[in-house]
Amino acid sequence: MYNPFSLEGKTILVTGASSGIGRATAVECAKMGAKVVITGRNAERLQETFDNLEGDGHTQIIADLSDKQQLQYTVDQTPTIDGIVNNAGIGKTLLFKFIDREDFNEIMQINFFAPVFLTQLLLKTKKLQKDSSVVFISSISTFAVGVGDSMYAASKGAINAFVKTLAVELAKQRIRVNYIQPGIVETHIFDSGVIDDEQLKETELKYPLGRFGQPKEIAHAAIYFLSEASKWTTGTGLVVDGGFTLL
Ligand SMILES: NC(=O)c1ccc[n+]([C@@H]2O[C@H](COP(=O)([O-])OP(=O)(O)OC[C@H]3O[C@@H](n4cnc5c(N)ncnc54)[C@H](OP(=O)(O)O)[C@@H]3O)[C@@H](O)[C@H]2O)c1
Protein backbone atom coordinates (compact mmCIF):
# COMPACT_ATOMS: atom_id res chain seq x y z
CA MET A 1 0.00 0.00 0.00
CA TYR A 2 1.30 3.50 -0.90
CA ASN A 3 2.42 5.26 2.27
CA PRO A 4 5.11 7.97 2.12
CA PHE A 5 5.04 8.19 5.94
CA SER A 6 6.05 4.55 6.44
CA LEU A 7 9.09 3.84 8.62
CA GLU A 8 9.37 0.24 7.42
CA GLY A 9 13.03 -0.86 7.32
CA LYS A 10 14.24 2.11 9.40
CA THR A 11 15.82 2.06 12.87
CA ILE A 12 15.00 5.12 14.96
CA LEU A 13 16.57 6.27 18.24
CA VAL A 14 14.17 8.08 20.58
CA THR A 15 15.58 9.71 23.72
CA GLY A 16 13.42 10.32 26.77
CA ALA A 17 11.10 7.49 25.77
CA SER A 18 10.18 6.52 29.33
CA SER A 19 7.42 9.12 29.39
CA GLY A 20 5.26 11.67 27.54
CA ILE A 21 6.18 12.75 24.01
CA GLY A 22 9.15 10.37 23.79
CA ARG A 23 7.07 7.35 24.79
CA ALA A 24 4.33 8.22 22.27
CA THR A 25 6.97 8.78 19.57
CA ALA A 26 8.54 5.37 20.17
CA VAL A 27 5.15 3.63 20.19
CA GLU A 28 3.93 5.40 17.04
CA CYS A 29 7.23 4.85 15.17
CA ALA A 30 7.02 1.13 15.91
CA LYS A 31 3.43 1.13 14.61
CA MET A 32 4.75 2.70 11.40
CA GLY A 33 7.14 -0.22 10.97
CA ALA A 34 10.35 1.10 12.57
CA LYS A 35 12.67 -0.75 14.86
CA VAL A 36 13.20 1.61 17.77
CA VAL A 37 16.01 2.16 20.23
CA ILE A 38 14.62 3.86 23.31
CA THR A 39 16.41 5.65 26.13
CA GLY A 40 15.44 6.92 29.56
CA ARG A 41 16.68 7.03 33.14
CA ASN A 42 13.76 5.32 34.86
CA ALA A 43 14.08 1.59 34.14
CA GLU A 44 10.52 0.69 35.15
CA ARG A 45 8.86 3.32 32.95
CA LEU A 46 11.21 2.60 30.06
CA GLN A 47 10.24 -1.08 30.29
CA GLU A 48 6.53 -0.03 30.17
CA THR A 49 7.22 1.77 26.89
CA PHE A 50 9.19 -1.22 25.61
CA ASP A 51 6.27 -3.55 26.42
CA ASN A 52 3.97 -1.35 24.32
CA LEU A 53 6.08 -1.46 21.16
CA GLU A 54 4.58 -3.29 18.18
CA GLY A 55 6.83 -5.65 16.23
CA ASP A 56 10.24 -6.92 17.27
CA GLY A 57 13.93 -6.03 17.17
CA HIS A 58 13.56 -3.04 19.52
CA THR A 59 16.16 -2.20 22.18
CA GLN A 60 16.31 -0.08 25.31
CA ILE A 61 19.15 1.83 26.92
CA ILE A 62 19.05 3.19 30.46
CA ALA A 63 21.23 6.28 30.73
CA ASP A 64 21.40 9.80 32.09
CA LEU A 65 22.25 11.77 28.96
CA SER A 66 23.56 14.74 30.90
CA ASP A 67 26.44 12.52 32.05
CA LYS A 68 29.33 12.36 29.55
CA GLN A 69 30.16 8.69 30.20
CA GLN A 70 26.55 7.58 30.00
CA LEU A 71 26.15 9.54 26.77
CA GLN A 72 29.12 7.60 25.35
CA TYR A 73 27.59 4.35 26.67
CA THR A 74 24.36 5.21 24.83
CA VAL A 75 26.27 5.66 21.58
CA ASP A 76 28.16 2.38 22.14
CA GLN A 77 24.87 0.52 22.63
CA THR A 78 23.15 2.13 19.63
CA PRO A 79 23.16 0.22 16.33
CA THR A 80 23.32 1.96 12.95
CA ILE A 81 20.25 4.18 12.73
CA ASP A 82 18.21 6.02 10.10
CA GLY A 83 16.86 8.68 12.40
CA ILE A 84 16.94 10.17 15.87
CA VAL A 85 14.36 12.06 17.87
CA ASN A 86 16.25 14.17 20.40
CA ASN A 87 13.39 14.47 22.83
CA ALA A 88 14.73 14.07 26.41
CA GLY A 89 14.43 17.35 28.24
CA ILE A 90 13.30 19.14 31.36
CA GLY A 91 11.33 22.27 32.12
CA LYS A 92 12.31 24.74 34.80
CA THR A 93 10.53 27.98 35.68
CA LEU A 94 12.36 30.62 37.69
CA LEU A 95 12.30 34.41 37.65
CA PHE A 96 15.51 35.80 36.18
CA LYS A 97 16.64 37.45 39.42
CA PHE A 98 16.67 34.08 41.21
CA ILE A 99 18.59 32.14 38.55
CA ASP A 100 22.12 31.02 39.33
CA ARG A 101 24.69 29.24 37.15
CA GLU A 102 23.78 25.80 38.55
CA ASP A 103 20.14 26.21 37.48
CA PHE A 104 21.18 27.30 34.01
CA ASN A 105 23.77 24.55 33.76
CA GLU A 106 21.26 21.84 34.73
CA ILE A 107 18.80 22.79 31.99
CA MET A 108 21.44 23.42 29.30
CA GLN A 109 23.11 20.07 30.00
CA ILE A 110 20.04 18.03 29.14
CA ASN A 111 18.11 20.35 26.79
CA PHE A 112 21.07 21.52 24.69
CA PHE A 113 24.46 19.80 25.24
CA ALA A 114 23.10 16.23 25.52
CA PRO A 115 21.22 16.21 22.17
CA VAL A 116 24.00 18.14 20.42
CA PHE A 117 26.83 15.83 21.53
CA LEU A 118 24.73 12.69 21.16
CA THR A 119 24.15 13.67 17.53
CA GLN A 120 27.83 14.49 17.05
CA LEU A 121 28.99 11.15 18.49
CA LEU A 122 26.52 9.24 16.32
CA LEU A 123 27.87 11.05 13.27
CA LYS A 124 31.51 10.46 14.23
CA THR A 125 30.90 6.74 14.73
CA LYS A 126 28.95 6.61 11.44
CA LYS A 127 25.94 5.22 13.29
CA LEU A 128 23.84 7.97 11.75
CA GLN A 129 23.70 6.94 8.11
CA LYS A 130 23.46 8.88 4.86
CA ASP A 131 19.85 9.88 4.09
CA SER A 132 18.95 9.84 7.77
CA SER A 133 16.84 12.35 9.68
CA VAL A 134 17.64 14.23 12.89
CA VAL A 135 14.71 15.69 14.81
CA PHE A 136 14.85 17.91 17.89
CA ILE A 137 11.89 18.55 20.16
CA SER A 138 12.04 22.29 20.77
CA SER A 139 9.15 24.43 22.04
CA ILE A 140 7.01 27.45 21.18
CA SER A 141 8.56 29.09 24.27
CA THR A 142 11.26 30.52 21.98
CA PHE A 143 8.74 33.05 20.68
CA ALA A 144 5.63 32.70 22.91
CA VAL A 145 7.00 34.27 26.05
CA GLY A 146 6.18 32.98 29.54
CA VAL A 147 7.34 34.74 32.72
CA GLY A 148 10.01 32.61 34.40
CA ASP A 149 10.75 30.68 31.22
CA SER A 150 13.98 32.46 30.24
CA MET A 151 16.31 29.48 30.85
CA TYR A 152 14.01 26.98 29.18
CA ALA A 153 13.37 29.29 26.21
CA ALA A 154 17.10 29.93 25.82
CA SER A 155 17.86 26.19 25.85
CA LYS A 156 15.31 25.58 23.09
CA GLY A 157 16.22 28.73 21.14
CA ALA A 158 19.82 27.49 21.08
CA ILE A 159 18.59 24.24 19.50
CA ASN A 160 16.62 26.11 16.82
CA ALA A 161 19.65 28.19 15.84
CA PHE A 162 21.96 25.17 15.95
CA VAL A 163 19.67 23.17 13.63
CA LYS A 164 19.96 25.71 10.80
CA THR A 165 23.75 25.46 10.52
CA LEU A 166 23.81 21.70 11.08
CA ALA A 167 21.26 21.22 8.29
CA VAL A 168 23.58 22.95 5.84
CA GLU A 169 26.68 21.11 7.09
CA LEU A 170 25.02 17.70 6.75
CA ALA A 171 23.14 18.32 3.50
CA LYS A 172 25.93 16.77 1.37
CA GLN A 173 25.31 13.46 3.18
CA ARG A 174 21.59 14.00 2.58
CA ILE A 175 21.04 14.00 6.36
CA ARG A 176 18.09 16.23 7.19
CA VAL A 177 17.86 18.19 10.45
CA ASN A 178 14.63 19.74 11.71
CA TYR A 179 12.84 20.68 14.92
CA ILE A 180 9.31 20.57 16.26
CA GLN A 181 7.87 23.35 18.41
CA PRO A 182 5.00 21.99 20.49
CA GLY A 183 2.60 24.11 22.48
CA ILE A 184 1.44 22.69 25.81
CA VAL A 185 1.17 18.91 25.64
CA GLU A 186 -0.31 16.87 28.48
CA THR A 187 2.68 15.02 29.94
CA HIS A 188 4.54 14.59 33.24
CA ILE A 189 6.61 17.69 32.52
CA PHE A 190 4.01 19.67 34.49
CA ASP A 191 3.91 17.29 37.48
CA SER A 192 6.62 19.30 39.21
CA GLY A 193 3.94 21.95 39.85
CA VAL A 194 5.75 24.64 37.87
CA ILE A 195 2.33 25.80 36.66
CA ASP A 196 -0.63 25.62 39.03
CA ASP A 197 -3.89 23.92 37.97
CA GLU A 198 -5.93 27.16 37.84
CA GLN A 199 -3.36 28.80 35.58
CA LEU A 200 -3.34 25.71 33.33
CA LYS A 201 -7.16 25.76 32.96
CA GLU A 202 -7.09 29.44 32.05
CA THR A 203 -4.34 28.87 29.49
CA GLU A 204 -6.14 25.93 27.89
CA LEU A 205 -9.10 28.19 27.11
CA LYS A 206 -6.78 30.33 24.99
CA TYR A 207 -6.02 27.46 22.59
CA PRO A 208 -8.05 28.04 19.37
CA LEU A 209 -8.49 24.28 18.85
CA GLY A 210 -9.94 24.16 22.37
CA ARG A 211 -7.45 22.00 24.25
CA PHE A 212 -3.82 21.17 25.01
CA GLY A 213 -2.03 18.66 22.80
CA GLN A 214 -1.64 14.93 23.24
CA PRO A 215 1.83 13.31 23.03
CA LYS A 216 0.73 11.30 19.99
CA GLU A 217 0.10 14.52 18.06
CA ILE A 218 3.76 15.49 18.42
CA ALA A 219 4.81 11.92 17.58
CA HIS A 220 2.99 12.22 14.26
CA ALA A 221 4.90 15.39 13.40
CA ALA A 222 8.12 13.51 14.20
CA ILE A 223 7.05 10.69 11.88
CA TYR A 224 6.69 13.23 9.06
CA PHE A 225 10.30 14.37 9.60
CA LEU A 226 11.61 10.79 9.95
CA SER A 227 9.88 9.46 6.85
CA GLU A 228 10.43 9.86 3.12
CA ALA A 229 7.50 12.31 3.12
CA SER A 230 9.88 15.08 4.26
CA LYS A 231 12.78 14.12 1.98
CA TRP A 232 13.15 17.72 0.72
CA THR A 233 12.70 19.44 4.09
CA THR A 234 15.69 20.47 6.17
CA GLY A 235 16.68 23.20 8.62
CA THR A 236 13.12 24.05 9.47
CA GLY A 237 10.80 24.11 12.46
CA LEU A 238 7.22 22.90 12.64
CA VAL A 239 4.89 24.54 15.15
CA VAL A 240 2.32 22.08 16.54
CA ASP A 241 0.28 24.07 19.04
CA GLY A 242 -3.45 23.94 18.34
CA GLY A 243 -3.21 27.47 16.92
CA PHE A 244 -2.08 29.02 20.22
CA THR A 245 0.64 31.24 18.78
CA LEU A 246 -1.62 32.65 16.04
CA LEU A 247 -3.26 34.98 18.53
N1 LIG B 1 4.91 18.75 27.47
C2 LIG B 1 4.95 19.91 26.87
O3 LIG B 1 4.03 20.74 26.98
C4 LIG B 1 6.11 20.29 26.00
C5 LIG B 1 5.99 21.42 25.20
C6 LIG B 1 7.05 21.79 24.38
C7 LIG B 1 8.20 21.03 24.37
N8 LIG B 1 8.30 19.93 25.18
C9 LIG B 1 9.54 19.17 25.13
O10 LIG B 1 9.26 17.82 24.83
C11 LIG B 1 10.26 16.99 25.38
C12 LIG B 1 9.59 15.86 26.17
O13 LIG B 1 8.84 16.43 27.20
P14 LIG B 1 7.63 15.68 27.91
O15 LIG B 1 6.59 16.70 28.14
O16 LIG B 1 7.30 14.42 27.22
O17 LIG B 1 8.33 15.40 29.34
P18 LIG B 1 8.33 14.17 30.33
O19 LIG B 1 7.06 13.41 30.25
O20 LIG B 1 8.77 14.73 31.63
O21 LIG B 1 9.50 13.26 29.72
C22 LIG B 1 10.81 13.70 29.71
C23 LIG B 1 11.69 12.57 29.26
O24 LIG B 1 13.05 13.04 29.24
C25 LIG B 1 13.85 12.15 29.97
N26 LIG B 1 14.96 12.84 30.62
C27 LIG B 1 14.93 13.97 31.38
N28 LIG B 1 16.15 14.25 31.83
C29 LIG B 1 16.98 13.28 31.36
C30 LIG B 1 18.36 13.01 31.50
N31 LIG B 1 19.17 13.79 32.23
N32 LIG B 1 18.88 11.94 30.85
C33 LIG B 1 18.08 11.12 30.14
N34 LIG B 1 16.77 11.31 29.97
C35 LIG B 1 16.22 12.38 30.58
C36 LIG B 1 12.93 11.54 31.01
O37 LIG B 1 13.49 10.32 31.44
P38 LIG B 1 13.18 9.67 32.91
O39 LIG B 1 11.75 10.03 33.23
O40 LIG B 1 13.38 8.21 32.67
O41 LIG B 1 14.12 10.28 33.85
C42 LIG B 1 11.66 11.36 30.20
O43 LIG B 1 11.70 10.18 29.45
C44 LIG B 1 11.16 17.88 26.22
O45 LIG B 1 12.32 18.21 25.48
C46 LIG B 1 10.32 19.12 26.44
O47 LIG B 1 11.08 20.27 26.65
C48 LIG B 1 7.29 19.55 25.99
The answer to whether the CB of 188 falls within 8 A of the CB of 224 is no
Which domains does the chain show, CATH number per domain? 11-241 (3.40.50.720)
pLDDT per residue as tens digits for the range 57-74:
999 999 999 999 999 999
Distances (CA, A) of 16 to 24, 45, 86, 175, 226: 10, 10, 8, 22, 17
- Supply the residue whose CA is at minimum distance from atom 14 of ligand 1: 20
- What was the pLDDT predicted at 228? 98
- What was the pLDDT predicted at 197? 82
Nearest atom (ligand 1) to Cα of 42: 40
pLDDT per residue as tens digits for the range 21-54:
999 999 999 999 999 999 999 999 999 999 999 9
Query: Among candidates 185, 186, 142, which has minimal Cα distance to 163?
Result: 142
Residue 182 CB less than 6 A away from ligand 1: yes
- What was the pLDDT predicted at 199? 84
- What was the pLDDT predicted at 200? 87
Nearest atom (ligand 1) to Cα of 182: 6
Residue 20 CB less than 6 A away from ligand 1: yes
Q: Is the pLDDT of residue 189 over 90?
A: no
Rounded Cα distance between 54 and 32, Å, is 9
Radius of gyration for the chain, computed over Cα atoms and rounded to the nearest angstrom:
17
Mean pLDDT of 132-136: 99
Rounded Cα distance between 184 and 21, Å, is 11
Residue 41 CB less than 6 A away from ligand 1: yes
Residue whose CB lies within 8 A of the most ligand 1 atoms, among 87, 105, 143, 200, for a mutation test: 87
Distances (CA, A) of 152 to 3, 26, 112, 218: 36, 24, 10, 19
Residue 87 CB less than 6 A away from ligand 1: yes
Question: Picking from 128-142, 160-174, 185-199, which range would have the lowest pLDDT averaged per residue?
Answer: 185-199
Q: Which residues are catalytic?
A: 152
Residue 139 confidence class, pLDDT cut points 50, 70, 90: very high
Longest dimension (CA), the chain: 57
- What was the pLDDT predicted at 108? 98
Residue 242 CB less than 6 A away from ligand 1: no
